[in-house]
């Protein structure tokens, strides 16, 4: 099955609308939970409150980050997964892998120390079925 770019863009844009404004991007150690409904796992490295408008409009079936995504490390360790939660930081709507030089959210190095500033430079989500 294939979708047009217009359908893929609409699907991507509705994800941002559903998650809402100022969501939380949480990066933790270890593997991701079995699904978004499962409890958080691993050690929380950083919880970043994203800007009110946090993704660019979808184009070509993909959305990219908008604005500055940075936060202060709560622990040190190697990123293993990320979860995207809505404004109240309770409901997970999206999750994926993270790593040093790997994963859907790739880091240049492990989080070295509590209090370190963690900056997300690139985040792209591409809808399938092109």
Q: Is 42 left (phi over 0), alpha (psi -120 to 50) or beta?
A: left
Beta bridge partners of 71: 118
Contact by Cβ (8 Å): 116, 107: no
Tokens standing for residue 69 = 């995504």
What contacts 22, CB < 8 A, 6 or more positions away?
49, 50, 51, 52, 54, 87
Q: What is the predicted pLDDT for the residue at 81?
A: 97
- Asked whether the whole model's pTM tops 0.75, one would answer yes
15-42 pLDDT tens trace: 999 999 999 999 999 999 999 999 999 9
Percent of the chain with pLDDT over 70: 100
Q: What average pLDDT does this structure show over 51-60?
A: 96
Q: Helix (H, G, I), strand (E, B), or coil: what is residue 8?
A: helix
Whether 84 contacts 95, CB under 8 Å: yes
- List residues bridging with 45 in a β-sheet: none
Helix (H) or strand (E) segment spanning residue 5:
helix 5-19
* Alpha carbon distance 107, 98 (integer Å): 7
pLDDT digits (tens, 9 = 90+) for 104-116: 999 989 998 999 9
């Amino acid at each position: 099955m294939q979708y047009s770019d217009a359908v893929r863009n609409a699907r991507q844009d509705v994800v941002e609308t559903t998650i809402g404004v100022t969501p939380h991007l949480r990066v933790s150690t270890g593997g991701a939970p079995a699904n978004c409904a499962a409890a958080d796992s691993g050690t929380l490295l950083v919880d970043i409150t994203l800007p009110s408008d946090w993704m660019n409009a979808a184009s070509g079936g993909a959305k990219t980050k908008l604005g500055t995504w940075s936060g202060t490390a709560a622990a040190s360790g190697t990123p293993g997964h990320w979860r995207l939660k809505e404004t109240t930081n309770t409901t997970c709507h999206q999750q994926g892998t993270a790593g040093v030089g790997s994963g859907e959210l790739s880091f240049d190095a492990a989080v070295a120390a509590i209090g370190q500033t963690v900056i997300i430079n690139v985040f792209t989500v591409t809808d399938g079925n092109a």
